Amino acid sequence: MAEQVIKLSVNGSVREISGDPRQLLVDVIRDDLDLKATHIGCLSGDCGACSVMVDGEVRKSCLSLAVSMEGADVRTLDGWVDETLLRLQTAFIATNAFQCGFCTSGMLMAATDLLRRNPRPDVSEIRKAISGNLCRCTGYEPIIQAIQQAIQK
């Protein structure tokens, strides 16, 4: 199959990628751009470890073809600084809202998206926002506590 060139913004830098049109966004992020904060978990959209922001909305990059991102603004945790994200990262550390850390990038993306849309969510809204992300270590309570702590700042 012929290679296709796409142009997109990743963490504020315009990037031009050439590759197989069937290539997933998660593979472009990790392999072509060498950005490793976006994790590959299930490749079926179930775990959320590959979550990124695309044009301001959370998207699972394992379900998105890279060619569909032509002209998009993609944000990963690699090199992206944002006040909401910094508050969340600080709260995750303070509350030990991670153990192995595999789900953390997806959880942070989901929480950042939530707090941008709703700066004062209640616990049920937090649970719903992170429901597309699996965590096998924490039992979710420290993650919820971290998001609540970030709200209070």
Q: What is the DSSP string of the chain?
A: ---EEEEEEETTEEEEEEE-TT-BHHHIIIIIS---SSPP--SSSSS-TTEEEETTEEEEGGGSBGGGGTT-EEE-STT---HHHHHHHHHHHHTT--SS-TTHHHHHHHHHHHHHH-SS--HHHHHHHTTT---SSS-SHHHHHHHHHHHH-
Last residue of a domain, one of 22, 50, 75: 75
- How confident is the model at residue 79, as a pLDDT? 79
In this structure, are 66 and 99 located in the same domain?
no
Domain of residue 107, CATH code: 1.10.150.120
Q: What is the pLDDT along the chain (153 residues), one digit of tens a residue?
A: 788 999 999 999 999 999 899 999 999 999 999 999 999 999 999 999 999 999 999 999 999 999 999 999 999 999 788 899 999 999 999 999 999 999 999 999 999 999 999 999 999 999 999 999 999 998 899 999 999 999 976
- How confident is the model at residue 82, as a pLDDT? 87
In this structure, are 59 and 107 located in the same domain?
no
Last residue of a domain, one of 75, 92, 112: 75
- How confident is the model at residue 2, as a pLDDT? 84
In this structure, are 69 and 12 located in the same domain?
yes
Last residue of a domain, one of 75, 91, 123: 75
Range of the domain at 99: 83-152
SS3 119: coil
